[in-house]
Amino acid sequence: MISFSDLPIRENLRGLSPYGAPQKNVPVALNVNENTHPLPENVVADIVEAVSGAVRGANRYPDREFTALRDALAGYLGHALSRENIWAANGSNEVLQQIMQAFGGPGRSLLGFSPTYSMYPLLASGTDTAWISGARDEDYELSADTVVAEIRRTTPSIVILCSPNNPTGTPLGLDVVAAAYEASDGIVIVDEAYAEFMPPDAPSALTLLEGRERLLVSRTMSKAFAFAGVRLGYLAADPAVLDALRLVRLPYHLSALTQAAATAALAHSDEMLAMVGEIVAQRDRIVVELERMGFTPHRTGSNFVLFGGVDEPNAVFETLLASGVLIRDIGIPGHLRVTAGTEAETTAFLEAIAPLAPDARGGAVPVKS
């Protein structure tokens, strides 16, 4: 038996670990930013009907251009977008990988601002693109001055901005995106995986697309749409970008079943997104309660909360896990991250962590429901 490192693997992959988060069978799993709310039964029925129809034609290849799905995604996003502006793949990770394949590669680089989504450097390595880790401002914020200075210093081929940022939850101003675009000669990606959890009046980077042919805005149905298991990510960009992605995508990369399920779900977008308000309420409840307990939750526009003031993150993580509550130790010293779940799941987390809080002083901190 040998390990993969004994094989003639590419040198830039040696020593790397694959992306992964603990998958454990626990009563309360709040570690990977899933939407823990179940899909409404009437939506499930329509999706099942659509998938059933697609199965009947599964002996034929699916629509290679996934036209109906692109029309539905454009209608959902608005902003005068059409199918010519929309691309989709098996999760936003595949969308980002295709961008790296088309615009990255040997001799090219990807700039991100750490801490940020841990898949970015892995996607860079997988496409032989150099990863550049830029620093954030205090409290994980990111200013236009910081971004522009790093772009001018490193001259990257691709810039990726996570908004709100994962794992910190930090929102990003559109002034930062506009400044990054002006300072760069390459591709600028704004990863808006958690955009639906921002305040309703918060502008999206989609508003900046017109006249910016090198700007790409990535989204996903995994979070707000509770579609993590379906794997459907998408982006909005200039039609020329889609032509570039067609060069690197695998033939018929979106199955007929995925296309049918996602299109059916988008027909219920108002109903699917109704749960977002409930999630935001629980997120804000987590922030208030953790702060009251003596922790230091960071500003967040996502469906999760990064909080500091944790003396021994691994010990707290293991204690919570033993009580049936799974959250995430993302490797930031003194910090842990928790996803906002249902009201019951949020209560279970808050009650489990209360005795471990800085202000517990030997006794449990009462939790407000």
């936003």: which residue's tokens? Answer: 92
**Is residue 365 in some structural domain?**
no
171 and 83 assigned to the same domain: yes
Q: Based on the domain organization, do 257 and 233 belong to the same domain?
A: yes
Each residue's pLDDT tens digit, 310-359:
999 999 999 999 999 999 999 999 999 999 999 999 999 999 999 999 98
The answer to the question of residue 10 being in a domain is no
Residue 366 or 59, more confident: 59
Domain count, the chain: 2
How much is the average pLDDT of 127-145?
Answer: 97
pLDDT over 50 at 173, yes or no = yes
369 vs 6 pLDDT, higher one: 6
Nearest to 283 by CA among 272, 295, 271, 298: 298
The letter for the amino acid at 115 is P
Q: Are residues 99 and 218 in the same domain?
A: yes
Claim to verify: residue 260 and residue 121 sit in the same structural domain: yes
CA angle centred on 45, ends 43 and 50, rounded to 5°: 95
In the predicted model, is pLDDT for residue 366 greater than 60? no
> For 195-244, what is each residue's pLDDT tens digit?
999 998 999 999 999 999 999 999 999 999 999 999 999 999 999 999 99
In-domain check, residue 46: yes
- Report in angstroms the alpha-carbon separations of 212 from 109, 178, 179, 238: 20, 9, 12, 8
Concatenate the DSSP letters of all residues of 246-289 into one string: HTTSPTT-S-HHHHHHHHHHHTTHHHHHHHHHHHHHHHHHHHHH
143 and 248 share one domain: yes
- Residues 144, 175: Cα–Cα separation, whole Å: 7
Predicted local distance difference test score (pLDDT) of residue 235: 98
Average pLDDT estimate for 41-59: 96
Domain that holds residue 222: 41-267
Burial track 271-310 (b if 16+ CB lie within 10 A, e otherwise): ebeebbeebbebbebbbebbebbebebbebbbbbbbbbbb
Q: Of the candidates 241, 267, 293, which is a domain's last residue?
A: 267
**Is 53 part of any domain?**
yes
Q: Are residues 22 and 163 in the same domain?
A: no
Q: What is the pLDDT confidence band of residue 71, given thresholds at 50, 70 and 90?
A: very high
Which of left, alpha, beta for 225 (phi over 0: left; psi -120 to 50: alpha)? alpha
Q: Do 79 and 192 touch, CB atoms closer than 8 A?
A: no
Taking the CB of residue 329, how many other CB atoms lie within 10 A of it?
A: 17
Is 46 in the same domain as 161?
yes
Closest CA to 254 of 70, 130, 83: 70
Tally of CB atoms within 10 A around 207: 11
Q: Which of 215, 237, 267 is the last residue of a domain?
A: 267
Q: What is the CA radius of gyration of the chain?
A: 21
Give dist(CA 88, CA 309) in Å, integer: 40
Helix/strand/coil percent split, the chain, to 5 = 40, 15, 45
CA–CA distance, 232 with 219 (Å, rounded to integer): 9
Domain check: are 142 and 241 in the same one?
yes
- Among 215, 233, 267, the domain-final residue is 267
Mean pLDDT of the 89-109 span? 98
Token digits for 48? 């099942």
- Are 209 and 104 in the same domain? yes
Q: Is the same domain home to 184 and 200?
A: yes
User: Could you tell me if residue 296 is inside a domain?
Assistant: yes
pLDDT of residue 1: 80
Round the average pLDDT of the chain to a whole number and report it. 95
Residues 52 and 115 in one domain: yes
Q: Is the pLDDT of residue 305 over 90?
A: yes
- Higher-confidence residue: 369 or 137? 137
- For residues 94 and 118, membership in a common domain is answered with yes
Task: Give the pLDDT confidence score for residue 362 in this predicted structure.
Answer: 47
Residue 283, both tokens: 């997120």
Q: Answer yes or no: is pLDDT of 367 > 90.
A: no
- Return the pLDDT at 49: 97
| Secondary structure class of 188 (helix, strand, coil) | strand
pLDDT, position 247: 98
Distance CA 235, CA 102 (A): 14
Bond preceding residue 115 cis, omega within 30 of 0: yes
Distance of CA 61 to the CA centre of its chain: 29
Rounded average pLDDT over 67-96: 98
In a domain, 48, yes or no: yes
Tell me, what's the pLDDT at 11?
85
User: Could you tell me the two tokens for 216?
Assistant: 């790409």
Query: Has residue 92 got a pLDDT over 70?
Result: yes
Pairing between strand 109-114 and 130-135? parallel
Q: 10: pLDDT confidence band, cut at 50, 70 and 90?
A: confident
Over residues 10-36, mean pLDDT: 87
Residue 52 has pLDDT above 80, yes or no: yes
Q: Is residue 9 part of a domain?
A: no
**Cα 319 from Cα 356, distance rounded (Å):** 9
Domain at 322, CATH number: 3.90.1150.10
- Rounded distance between C-alpha atoms, residue 33 and residue 304, angstroms: 6
* Rounded percentage of the chain residues whose pLDDT exceeds 90: 89
Work out the burial of residue 328: count CB atoms within 10 Å of its CB; fewer than 13 is exposed, 13-18 middle, 19 or more buried: buried
Task: Look up the CATH number of the domain holding residue 152.
Answer: 3.40.640.10
The answer as to whether 3 is a domain residue is no
